[in-house]
């Protein structure tokens, strides 16, 4: 069994304050929005894992296919001794990469979901004797204090999670990732690609209703954490393709005119019948756009790999 450490960089209260600030800003603004990070309590993380196995949800399978084919190349180009993974969740696909990184000294999974981190971190430490696993409960959109570990460093950001950030947020995020790297260190980035609308919408609106349950889970988080009285059954799950921005939007549409109380914020939110709350944006990418966004942050695209069907891309870029 290897060493396993879990550090909470977010004090309990900081998370609560951030949730309150996000919910107040998001529900009093127009249109109403909530940031997707609040989906991921223990139940949300479980539901996301169920989504990754759905027949309609191709991104996980496509990204795993690329990782299996390219893990050796990634190891050769990066020579990583420290692997930092942002939004690591179950770390399930990362196992293939860790197995290929022969000289790896430390794995640093970073996630807001403590339950996902604890499960994945312990399993990995048990599987790979000699590998130090130092899990960080942290928000990857805030400044990260990484443990002092040997270079070269490889930062992985998989699952297409970068698409959940809006373009201006992505630019700030990539700049902050660049700041974690020394020249020659690398970023491994998973990006879902633009494709036909039907395939995209189905991936976010599955027949079994798991994505709908995941979407509504954010209301359960607000009910539990803020004492709100959202009734998840009073909202419909909506997934639609925005062709102008080339992103999927997940929304919750109010079935009726209703008032929701949020005692922790001393707030009452009135929803009109049919009014929508945006809960997630999931941008889809093209190679030239990814190259340009990386370059603007000081990262040079070195490799671009897709799955056989060209649905998803993994890119490796190197810090200037
Ligand atoms: C779409 S899932 C991807 C999980 C995994 N990387 C994969 O590829 O299957 C997004 C992950 O990022 C985490 N997450 C979302 N927003 C975050 C944030 N702001 N800071 C840290 N983790 C976050 C979630 O808890 C979840 O585990």
Domains of the chain: 1-139+148-221+286-319 (3.40.50.150)
Which residue's CA is the nearest one to ligand 1's atom 18?
139
Report residue 121 as tokens. Answer: 């971190």
**Residue-wise pLDDT tens for the chain (320 aa)?**
567 888 877 655 667 889 999 999 999 999 999 999 999 999 999 999 999 999 999 999 999 999 999 999 999 999 999 999 999 999 999 999 999 999 999 999 999 999 999 999 888 888 888 899 999 999 999 989 999 999 999 999 999 999 999 999 999 999 999 999 999 999 999 999 999 999 999 999 999 999 999 999 999 999 999 999 999 999 999 999 999 999 999 999 999 999 999 999 999 999 999 999 999 999 999 999 999 999 999 999 999 999 999 999 999 999 99
Residue with tokens 């189905």: 202
Q: How far apart are the C-alpha atoms of 254 and 257, rounded to whole Å?
A: 7
Query: What is the whole-number distance in angstroms between the Cα of residue 249 and the centre of ligand 1?
Result: 17
Q: What is the pLDDT of residue 126?
A: 85
Distance from the alpha carbon of residue 272 to the mean position of ligand 1, in angstroms: 31
Looking at the CA of residue 139, tell me the nearest atom of ligand 1. 20
Strands (E) located in 266-298 = 267-271, 276-283
| pLDDT in the model for residue 7 | 84
Q: Are strands 258-262 and 82-86 parallel, antiparallel or unpaired?
A: unpaired
Q: Give residue 211 CA to ligand 1 midpoint distance, Å.
A: 15
* pTM recorded for the entire structure: 0.96
- The verdict on whether residue 261 carries a ligand-binding annotation is no
Residue 12 pLDDT:
59
Q: For residue 87, what pLDDT is reported?
A: 98
**CA–CA separation, 171 and 176 (whole Å):** 9
The per-residue pLDDT for 207 is: 98
What is the pLDDT, as a whole number, of residue 201?
98
Spatial separation of the C-alpha atoms in residues 316 and 235, rounded to whole Å: 40
Q: What is the pLDDT of residue 4?
A: 83
Residue 11: predicted pLDDT: 56
Q: Which residues contact 190 (CB under 8 A, 6 or more apart)?
A: 59, 63, 157, 158, 159, 160, 161, 162, 312, 313, 314
According to the annotation, is 176 in a ligand binding site? no
Looking at residue 10, its pLDDT comes to 62
């Amino acid at each position: 069994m290897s060493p396993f450490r879990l550090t909470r960089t977010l004090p309990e209260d900081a998370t609560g304050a951030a949730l309150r600030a996000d919910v107040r800003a998001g529900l009093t603004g127009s249109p109403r929005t909530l940031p997707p990070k609040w989906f991921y309590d223990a139940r949300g993380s479980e539901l996301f894992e169920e989504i990754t196995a759905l027949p309609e949800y191709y991104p996980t399978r496509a990204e795993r296919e690329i990782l299996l084919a390219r893990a050796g190349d990634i190891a050769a180009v990066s020579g990583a001794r420290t692997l930092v993974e942002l939004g690591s969740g179950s770390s399930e696909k990362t196992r293939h990469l860790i197995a290929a990184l022969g000289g790896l000294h430390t794995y640093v999974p970073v996630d807001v979901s403590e339950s996902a981190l604890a499960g994945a971190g312990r399993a990995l430490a048990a599987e790979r004797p000699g590998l130090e696993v130092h899990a960080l409960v942290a928000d990857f959109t805030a400044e990260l204090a990484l443990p002092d570990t040997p270079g070269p460093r490889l930062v992985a950001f998989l699952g297409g999670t970068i698409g959940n950030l809006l373009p201006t947020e992505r630019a700030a995020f990539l700049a902050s990732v660049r700041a974690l790297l020394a020249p020659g260190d690398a970023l491994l980035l998973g990006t879902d690609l633009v494709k036909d609308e039907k395939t995209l919408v189905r991936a976010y609106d599955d027949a079994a209703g798991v994505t709908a349950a995941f979407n509504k889970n954010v209301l359960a988080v607000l009910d539990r954490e803020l004492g709100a009285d959202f009734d998840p059954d009073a909202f419909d799950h909506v997934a639609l393709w925005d062709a102008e921005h080339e992103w999927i939007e997940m929304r919750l549409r109010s079935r009726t005119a209703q008032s929701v109380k949020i005692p922790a914020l001393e707030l009452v939110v009135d929803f009109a019948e049919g009014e929508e709350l945006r809960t997630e944006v999931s941008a889809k990418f093209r190679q030239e756009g990814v190259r340009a966004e990386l370059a603007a942050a000081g990262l040079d695209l070195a490799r671009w790999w897709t799955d056989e069907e060209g649905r998803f891309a993994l890119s490796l870029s190197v810090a200037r």
